[in-house]
Chain A
Amino acid sequence: MASTTHQAWLTVNNVRLEVLGRGQGPPIVWLHGEDGLDPSAPFLEMLAAHGQVLAPSHPGFGHSPDASSVDTVDDLAYLYLDLLAEGNLRDAVLIGSSLGGWIAAEMAVRSTERLRGLVLVAPLGIKIGDRESRDIPDIFALPPAEVLRLQYRDPERATFDPSKLSDDQLTVIARNREATALYAWEPYFHNPKLRQRLHRIKVPTLLLWGVDDRFVSAANYGAAYRDSIPGARLETIDRAGHFPHLEQPEALVERVRAFLGDRRA
């Protein structure tokens, strides 16, 4: 299947967004996590085989400019609901990874009108432990190497040599970190109210989790998520950490395809 790739700029509610578009067919919206969106990542190409992938960079990430009106995940959720409405997308499959999973969940508790299904890949966003238990390791207080060890099954693949990257690529890396701090600093990677609202999600929901996710575990965090969303399924992906779309893109896309296939049937 010949896929068409385009990188476009969309303006939603005066917020300018860099959006990566790929493929054709039913809309698949990908919301990236704190790792940002790498246009060359193979999983995007694979996903595009199953529909039209729309992958915006959240304001402050990638090349999307900062937006003074957007500084919370709440703002992002409404921004993307508006994006779905303005693009008149219907029966969209919404996929979010980590921080993006949190955004997707926030969208879904507000409205599933334009959604056909929801795929949350190791989503963050809920609080499950008591006030003295940190559900999510503090990436801002840990040595960078330790953060990679927690988030990747194979940290080697995520380490990079700054001297081999262009200024633009380094700027994107720096901006991704800054934007993550903007949205996730406090409360730390969660909305205390989200868990009690997850029951509102009425569309089919698939939770995907890397088996080797040392950042937030499927058994604990994933199970809590699953239990809060009616009818949700939790599936794990072998040999993958917190970002399965980077470490096991084929497996991830296969699960998504199966999920879509199930629904189509």
Chain B
Amino acid sequence: MRAWFFSENAYHLLPDKSEYDSIRVKLPNRYYDPKIGADLYHRFIDEWQIAEDLGLEIMVNEHHQTATNLNPSAAVVMGALARDTRKARLLILGNPIANRREPVRVAEEMAMVDVYSRGRLECGFVRGVPYEISAGNHRPTRMQERFWEAHDLIVKAWISHDGPFNWEGKYFHHRQVNIWPRPFQEPHPPIWITALSPSNAGDVGERGYVVACFLTGFEGTQAVFGAYRARRAELKLSTPPLDRFAYAALVYVGETDEEGYAGAKKLMWYLESNKVPPQFTSPPGYHPTASTVNTMKGAVPGIFKMFQNPALGPLMENGLVFAGNPDSVYRQIMKMYDHVGGFGHLLIMGQAGFLDHDAADHVVDARLLDQPRDLVAHARGRAGQDRLVGERGVEAHAVLDRRVAVIRPELDEARRPARVRGARDRLGLGVGVRDHDLAVDPDARRRDVRVEAPGIVAVLRPRGAIRLDERAIGRRRAEPDHVHALRRRPLHALDVAGGVAERRVRLLERRQLHGHVVVAVVLAPVRQPRAGHPRQDHRECLLEHRAGAPGVEAVIADLVGRHAAAHAELEPSAAQMVEHADLADQAERRVEGQQIDERPQADPSRALRHRGQEHRRRRRHAERRGVMLGQVVGEEAGRIRGLEQLEPLLVELAERRRLPPIDPVEQPERDLCHEPLQGRHCRTDRRSISGRSRPRPAPRHGGGSSPCRRRSTA
């Protein structure tokens, strides 16, 4: 399951609720202070970046004329995020295309963000909430028709690459559609569509898009997902994998249940403050006539009653809020998961309104410092789904069974020798779950993708297995991410009574789309057969660890953002290198200075200095400065010559004396004053001296190209 951090960018500093009759459409913007608003924008973008660091994906939406959401253009804020993030998927859910006058413009904006982010965009289309009708001045009737025409036009604009095409539809007219740029992803970014009722879920299902439910609770969500699945079954289309389903809830994870509840209550600001009069919640034609009639009769569906008077208890009971400690949130999520037949995306409304109204200075605020902790808690809730082994007991066991069941077909496939083609000792198993790999026509996208079970694509990649000695760490590869299981010995080696604490199995997981490989070295399990549940074979051991290890590891790795310590198997640690270096013997060794943001790590090739990672916040490489020596007057270096030709003599003397050119200075090419023979009147080319005595490594910054170049003040 992928978790998406979703923030509505609310402007919460409103007068008391009794002072306005609608937070949407007509609340005067004199209540909005742009200076505070600017701080809030930066804060929210920071929060999204933190979410990315924690391994969450990013979700943005747009609303208009409302204090609950200050993103009137999702494309604009996503443009900023595309630049300020590097690895998270970027979901816009979504573009209210029934309300947009120019679908072609939407196609352009989305293609631009997709290219800009190098193919990280997930493009959602929504009908738009009823309150948006007034803002867009689009009539609320026949919206579905307009929606799908806009959708068709956008998709065609994305996939047409041979010059302009014509569009003279019922609602939109363009005679020359030919967008630049075209999307980065082929054939186009994955499409998501929200459905709050089963009525249009079938249409989404027919097209194989991701269907998203917002705060629809157990029954509503089940109905929507069921309608999606039913339509596909009816049309004899493939069974939709889990990543076609998304559920959005308010989520707050605390260390304790109480802390979680307290946080969730702040989140509920979004529901509590959503004061909107009926003329905006029910524009004529927006809702089906029958439901309008029911509303007139006063029959409010239970779920809407909860919105009218939100209280944490009922909201949690109905699956609109997941809150508590990590374990209980995990349970709540899985309860929903089981009830609705599974879903592959959890959309976390994590910043709807968790702003502290009591603190006077909460805008530029200390809470921002608390934010990472809150988000860690979110991440922990997410990771909790993968955390299986250990203290959970029976419950963990049930989850494990489920996961084994899910992965088993893939394992079975892997055991067929015919498919392995002789690479029996290096078997790579890919579990690629990039959902656009699964879209409408998997065959056309990837011929080696086979849908094995909901949510799983089993890809047999005998040649793609990562060999440990290939130093997989840190390699950026263009191919999709995989979980790789490697074995160097037959798997039954694990099946030793009593177990051995020895490395037998290595799992390499490249975290999905997160730009780096997470390595989890799993010790062969000490077998502790549970009563009544003897493991049938080694595979369950493997699966257990495979299922259990990456989640936790991934969070840690994401938090650090790099491999903080060298991997003992794969890289010598910096300490080890120092320890083994014979500095006395190799007198010339220069010890590189460390940058402030640099951790001790092996980086022998030097090609990936700083590992190619920019400073995440400042968007630039840490600057490397030369050593500044105080009061050094820049001298013009010149050919060695002097009055009465004394210098050559000195050089020869120097050679004869074979002075050891130990030079522990960081920037030798800039340092003029360290040669022992430096005379007061000499203009010395140090390189010429040392160069004759013993070859030196070339300076890193190109200073060696011209020994006599003009120098400025060092």
Contact = CB atoms under 8 A, between A and B. Distances in A.
A162 B298 CA distance: 8
27 contacts: A71-B142, A140-B133, A140-B134, A140-B279, A140-B283, A140-B284, A142-B279, A143-B278, A144-B279, A162-B297, A162-B298, A163-B298, A167-B293, A173-B296, A174-B289, A174-B292, A177-B292, A178-B285, A178-B292, A179-B141, A180-B284, A181-B283, A181-B284, A181-B285, A182-B142, A185-B139, A186-B139
B1 to A, nearest CB: 40
Quick one: which of A173, A185, A186 has the most chain B CB within 10 A?
A185
Nearest to A181: B284
B17 interface: no
Interface string A104-120: 00000000000000000
A171 interface: yes
B138 to A, nearest CB: 8
B284 to A, nearest CB: 4
A49 to B, nearest CB: 35
A141 interface: yes
Interface in A155-186: 162-163, 167, 170-171, 173-175, 177-182, 185-186
Interface in B327-368: none
Contact of A175 (B25, B140, B289): B289
A209 B659 CA distance: 113
Interface of B: 25-26, 133-134, 137-142, 277-280, 283-285, 289-290, 292-293, 296-298
A182 B289 CA distance: 14
Interface in A167-213: 167, 170-171, 173-175, 177-182, 185-186
Nearest to A139: B279
A140 B277 CA distance: 11
A164 B292 CA distance: 16
B139 A181 contact: yes
Task: Tell me which of B285, B297, B298 has the highest count of chain A C-beta atoms within 10 A of its own C-beta.
Answer: B285
Contacts of A170: 293, 296-297
B289 A171 contact: yes
Contact of B280 (A141, A174, A175, A178): A141
B279 A141 contact: yes
A186 B137 contact: yes
Contacts of B292: 174, 177-178
A163 B298 CA distance: 9
- For the residues of B in contact with A, the DSSP-based class is loop
Interface string A34-73: 0000000000000000000000000000000000000100
A71 B146 CA distance: 13
Contacts of A71: 142
Nearest to A160: B296
Nearest to A167: B293
Given A140-B279, A174-B289, A177-B285, 8 more contacts: A140-B283, A140-B284, A141-B26, A143-B279, A167-B293, A171-B293, A178-B284, A178-B289
Interface string A133-148: 0000000111110000
Listed residue (B133, B137, B139, B284) with the most chain A CB atoms within 10 angstroms of its CB = B284
B285 A182 contact: yes
Nearest to B296: A162
The 10 closest A-B pairs by CB, nearest first: A185-B139, A177-B284, A178-B285, A181-B284, A174-B292, A182-B141, A178-B284, A170-B293, A162-B296, A174-B289
A46 B633 CA distance: 111
B141 A178 contact: yes
A174 B133 CA distance: 18
Contacts of A185: 137-141
A141 B133 CA distance: 10
A216 to B, nearest CB: 19
B277 A143 contact: yes
Contacts of A171: 289-290, 293
B134 A141 contact: yes
Contacts of B278: 143-144
Interface string A236-249: 00000000000000
A144 B142 CA distance: 23
A167 B294 CA distance: 9
A173 B289 CA distance: 10
A174 B283 CA distance: 11
